[in-house]
């Protein structure tokens, strides 16, 4: 069995805890408090670098080997999330239709909420059919920040 490596880095949203091994990144989550790692394991260097580039505004797409743990259905949902382009959103209803089962909206929402690869697998890009922000495991304030960060024409504050 391969050893799981972890690292904690500071981001504008809090501390990102990244875990993975040679098979790929298994999880990325943001927490309010943490301690920045002094060393970055080799298997996580690309993930740390690409997340840093994303937060700096220099990356719109991740190119990482991913290995999230979940059911076959969850994997299908997470793969569908990867198809949502940077700066765009979709609704839970649209995502459900894309997956081919319009009655599975609750299951799709549940799988979305269990996504272990926050930001990299962009579950934050899924919103309510009416355009409202709906649940995000990292909190709606983080979801709003990510959506604002991904807007190509950012509104400037005048005052």
Beta partners for 25? 20, 66
Of the candidates 68, 66, 48, the one whose C-alpha atom is nearest the C-alpha of residue 116 is 68
The catalytic residue positions are: 123
Cα Rg of the chain, angstroms: 16
Q: What does 11-65 look like in DSSP terms, one character per residue?
A: ETTEEEEEEEETTEEEEEEEESS----SS--GGGHHHHHHHHHHHHT--SS----
């Amino acid at each position: 069995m391969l050893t799981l490596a972890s690292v904690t880095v500071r981001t504008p949203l809090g501390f990102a805890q990244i875990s993975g091994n040679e098979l790929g990144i298994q999880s990325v989550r943001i927490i309010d408090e943490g301690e920045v790692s002094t060393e970055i394991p080799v298997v996580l260097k690309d993930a740390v670098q690409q997340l840093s580039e994303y937060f700096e505004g220099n990356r719109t797409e991740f190119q990482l080997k991913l290995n999230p743990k979940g059911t076959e259905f969850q994997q299908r949902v997470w793969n569908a999330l990867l198809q949502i382009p940077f700066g765009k959103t979709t609704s839970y209803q649209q995502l459900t239709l894309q997956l081919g089962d319009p009655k599975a909206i609750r299951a799709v929402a549940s799988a979305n909420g269990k996504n272990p690869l926050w930001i990299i697998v962009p579950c934050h890009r899924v919103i309510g059919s009416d355009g409202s922000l709906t649940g995000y495991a990292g909190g709606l304030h983080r979801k709003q920040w990510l959506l604002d960060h991904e807007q190509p024409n950012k509104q400037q504050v005048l005052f």
